[in-house]
Amino acid sequence: MATTEASKPPLEQKLRGLTGEVVKFGIVGLSGVVVNFAVFWVCINGLGLASLRSNIAATVIAIATNYLGYRYWLYRDRDAASRKREITLFLIFSGIGMLIETGVLAFTVYVLNLDSHYEQLGAKVVGLGLGTVFRFVSYRTWVFKALPETEEPATAGAATVPAPATASGQELAAQAELMLAAEQIRYAPAE
């Protein structure tokens, strides 16, 4: 059945949903930032590790805590049919985000020669901001994929509107993709 304009959510509703998602992403991310900076500070001051090693250790620990927040709070209603795929993609995109953050820190310390602890923290803030934008886009696009929308069943006695005979190829392809995704979820093996 073709999707009608009346069944599509309005732009305002989509933006409201995205705003809520951004806020929740920010809350989980903020908890990760607290973990990240606390571990970084302990590693650099308490353990005397080099800044890049401290950054990597802190980011890895924050990635682990963030995954729990994203999977079990923010994206709990998203497709979880393949946890192996999800975790693999999460680690890949988190690793790229970590490289962005560490690259900014390395540039600040080794190229700009700004190596006081406070300058390194400033570099972490900038790198973390850039990495966060990358992570948000990649997580919501590829890692925690939305479940395909299902059509509401017609109520008894309600007339159904037949699909127009001149549906475009793009509409048919989109409908076919949704049907295939729904079938894959329905028959996905339990893990």
Quick one: CA torsion of 61, 65, 66, 70, rounded to 10 degrees? Answer: 150
Helices and strands (H and E) in the chain: how many? 5, 0
Prediction pTM value: 0.59
**What's the pLDDT tens digit per position in 64-104?**
998 888 888 877 777 666 778 888 888 899 889 989 989 99
